[in-house]
Amino acid sequence: MNALHDRIQSRHARVGVIGLGYVGLPLAVEFARAGFTVVGFDVDSSKTDQINDGISYIPDVRQADLAAQVKAGRLRATTNMAELGDVDVIDICVPTPLRKTKDPDLSYVVRSVEAVAATLRKGQLIILESTTYPGTTDEVVQPMLEANGLKAGADFFLAFSPERVDPGNERFTTRNIPKIVGGSDAASTKVAAALYGATVETVVPVSSTKVAEMVKLLENTFRAVNIGLVNEVAQMCHAMDIDVWEVIEAAKTKPFGFMPFYPGPGLGGHCIPIDPFYLSWKARQSGFECRFIELAGHVNGSMPEFVLARVVDALNESRKPVNGSRVHVYGVAYKRDVGDVRESPALDIIALLDRRGAVISYSDPYVPHLEEGGHSFTAVSEAEALRGGVDCVVIVTDHSAFDWNLLVTSGVPIVDTRNALRGFSSPNIVRLSGRVTTSATDV
């Protein structure tokens, strides 16, 4: 351990990062900025080529920062997994999606670990960052790495450190988000903590890989459950003709005992819609039923249908059916000001509208093209869409670039699922819950 620890402290350790997406590329740049020589690994040659040309394709990574590290010779990328044997540290940051059956899909992790095992040598540190169920590092990764005779804790180091990336968040980044680290043994925890301690502001060691894996699932399940609660409240408020947004704004004035969460068209992204299912799947293996968590998932999963009902309401006011109506979607990314459409509720809403015969178009400054349900869509500008004539607009993602005044004054019926039009009072606005009213703050 001392040899690798010393190499980390002196910045002579060579670091490899497998998976150069929203998690891996920012991490690779931070390692390079800290003085390490970094090699990024990805099966997508278009990504490795762009990195080697100093081009960033991840909005959270400033191109100038990436280019500076490439020019200084501290960062390069390759598709050649055989080079994994040449680095001292390997950080695995690959996707962990769900199968259609809602079971964990560890295929990307397994393929990455197979590549690591093929060149594994004594003294290397292997870290898994991909979100997964408790026990993955011990039960899946470790046996694969030990198959050729080397032992974790004796011959190589093994740890789990959950990624906590929030794409588009300018305040909290890879560098200043505290890093959880749990090793397969005390020595692995210590050396992994030393690596991250040289890179990020705060490191939080925990007692095991299972604890570290569970931390990430708790964080995102907490969000999913609370969003599920407020989504159900939104549906309840609609049934009782109450503006849920006004309720939340008033409730959050309480200085203790309440944390505001906000309803929306459904969950999206690479973590919150997925992680609770990883947790409930693993719990079932232990004979435990996560009824509360799974109920929240059911509520969140029902929101696109609820949005569809609001579209029907909006078109009804104009005496128009969904079938044949031109419905324009504002924003298809899963959150504002990013271009990521993974698990975006917009995809479900578009599919529901398509099945009912709507003619669909969309605007999104971050997503120029979209493939969904066998259809290929190209984004159009807001002004072009409104000029062309649409029967209804659905605000799914409230990008800051959108011109809300232009939209409201167009007179087109609008279904606002994000409360983007707070402050506007117009009969053509259909809120997620409650009727259009002038709030007390507007009086």
Tokens of 419: 């409360």
Q: Which residues are catalytic?
A: 271
Q: Give CA–CA dist 261/224, Å, rounded.
A: 10
Q: Give me the sign of the Cα torsion angle 185, 186, 192, 193.
A: positive
Q: Give CA–CA dist 334/342, Å, rounded.
A: 7
Q: Give CA–CA dist 329/390, Å, rounded.
A: 10
Q: Give CA–CA dist 362/403, Å, rounded.
A: 14
**Nearest to residue 246, comparing CAs of 229, 234, 231?**
234
Cα 221 to chain centroid distance, Å, stands at 13
Tell the residue number behind the tokens 């292997």, with chain if given.
126
- What are φ and ψ of residue 392, in 5° steps? -160, 145
The percent of the chain in helix, strand and coil, each rounded to the nearest 5, is 40, 15, 45
- What are φ and ψ of residue 424, in 5° steps? -95, 140
Tell the residue number behind the tokens 């409730």, with chain if given.
251
Residues found in the chain: 443
- Outline where 330-381 has alpha helix (H): 345-355
